[in-house]
A and B are shown apart, each in its own frame.
Chain A
Amino acid sequence: MSATLSELGPVLALILFGFLPNEVWRLVGLMLVRGLDEKSQIIVWVRAVATAMLAGVLAQLLLSTSGPLSSIPVEVRVGAAVLGFAAFLIARRSVFAGVLAGEAAVMLGTYLFAV
């Protein structure tokens, strides 16, 4: 009986504190664009806002000092991103090459410099 409860606990927590607070933004997005055209100026602006937010997410992941990524020094993360981006440019804008080079660099850097 208590086993079932402890199984149900995390799932209920997932729905109430993970799924709902996350999904609400998708729902608001769906509601707001009812009847809007993809070429309309509001959508052009919204797209720019979304793109900028994505860059904000990237900056947070590179510079954050909390969460699992914080166990990797900021210098290592930023350095690996720069190396990955250089590889992307050298490989004639290959996303595969850039991602692999960045990931390899962060693993090497983590191995060498993480405490």
Chain B
Amino acid sequence: MSTETSEPPPHVSAQVFLDGIVAAVRSVFFYVLVGNYLGLGALAYEVGLNFWWMALSTLLVWAAPAQIILVSTLHTAALFEVALAVTLSSVRFLPMVAAILPMMRRPGVRQRDLLLPMHLTAVSVWVEGMRLLPLMAPERRIAFYNGLGVGLMSAAIIGGAIGFVLAAKLPPLLAAALLFFTPMAILMSSARNSRTLIDGLAFGLGLVVGPVVAAQKIGLDLMWTGLIAGSIAYAVHRLREARRKAGP
């Protein structure tokens, strides 16, 4: 094996990018995003935002919960409050980006090569990336992840566009029901991906700790949920590792 960290030739890179798009189309999230953004597009139409605004918000924000906040409060709440609500809903991106980017880093990868993977990181792309990247040679991961992200983002933009076309015929209650695609996809794909104790425990504890933290009304709910439940899961994982090493 060569110790050279050579870049894959450009045609391989394009091929890997296409593989990423194919993986996106094969992912349940592709269809979930079409459905979810269909609902979001219809709600955006309802409050008088236009089609291009919707597409641009997907391209720039790329976070369904934040976009739901934007669409439903941009015309009613103070803009400062909107920004605060958006930023509180997006704290999850910090640990998500921090957990996935090291999989793509290797000698020769510059910080700016990671800017696109960083921006494309959202729940859907992250969940599929965490599952698929470890199966892949490190030098292919950035191009694959970019393809995956662009493919899934396209699904969201298509869904948003269909939402605008159908908006006049879609009752707001049905549009809201379509937003339910997102929690369902989070639940099932996390359950499928939780193969290790630490993942399953972090997710299960998060489900319990989340509502408890929310009931305390101390604010920053998501951050505390992540820190408390994630740290307990990590501690249990470390204890078990230590016991396994010490044991026979």
User: Does B15 belong to the interface (CB within 8 Å)?
Assistant: no
| Interchain CB contact under 8 A, A95 and B185 | yes
Q: Which residues of B sit under 8 angstroms from A16, Cβ to Cβ?
A: 79, 83
The A24-50 residues at the B interface (CB cut-off 8 A) are 24-30, 32-34, 36-38, 40, 43-50
Q: Which residues of A sit under 8 angstroms from B56, Cβ to Cβ?
A: 11, 14
User: Does B184 belong to the interface (CB within 8 Å)?
Assistant: yes
| Interchain CB contact under 8 A, B53 and A85 | no
Number of interface residues of A (CB under 8 A): 71
| Interchain CB contact under 8 A, B66 and A55 | no
- Closest Cβ of chain A to B120, distance in Å, is 9
Q: Which of B121, B205, B210 contacts A26 (CB 8 A)?
A: B121
- B86's closest neighbor in chain A, by CB? A21
Provide the B218-231 mask, 1 if CB < 8 A to any CB of A, else 0.
00011101111111
| Interchain CB contact under 8 A, B188 and A71 | no
B4-12, B87-95, B143-151, B152-160 - the one binding chain A: B87-95
- Closest Cβ of chain A to B65, distance in Å, is 7
| Interchain CB contact under 8 A, B184 and A81 | yes
CA gap between A45 and B90 in the complex, in Å: 19
| Interchain CB contact under 8 A, A50 and B86 | no
Q: Which residues of A sit under 8 angstroms from B32, Cβ to Cβ?
A: 99
User: Does A90 belong to the interface (CB within 8 Å)?
Assistant: no
Q: Which of B60, B87, B115, B172 contacts A25 (CB 8 A)?
A: B87
| Interchain CB contact under 8 A, A88 and B214 | no
- A23's closest neighbor in chain B, by CB? B119
Known: A13-B79, A58-B187. Is A29-B101 also a contact (CB below 8 A)? yes
Q: Which residues of B sit under 8 angstroms from A95, Cβ to Cβ?
A: 28, 185, 188-189, 192
- A63's closest neighbor in chain B, by CB? B211
| Interchain CB contact under 8 A, A85 and B191 | yes
The B175-214 residues at the A interface (CB cut-off 8 A) are 175-192, 198-199, 201-207, 209-211, 213-214
| Interchain CB contact under 8 A, B118 and A27 | yes
- Closest Cβ of chain A to B84, distance in Å, is 8
Provide the B63-91 mask, 1 if CB < 8 A to any CB of A, else 0.
10111111010100001101110110011
Binding site for B on A (CB under 8 A): 7, 10-11, 13-30, 32-34, 36-38, 40, 43-63, 67-69, 71-72, 77, 80-81, 84-85, 88, 93, 95-96, 98-99, 102-103, 106-107, 110, 114
Q: Would you mind naming 15 contact pairs between A and B with Cβ atoms under 8 Å apart? A: A11-B53, A44-B237, A45-B230, A47-B130, A50-B96, A51-B230, A52-B206, A53-B206, A53-B230, A56-B92, A56-B210, A59-B206, A60-B222, A61-B183, A85-B191
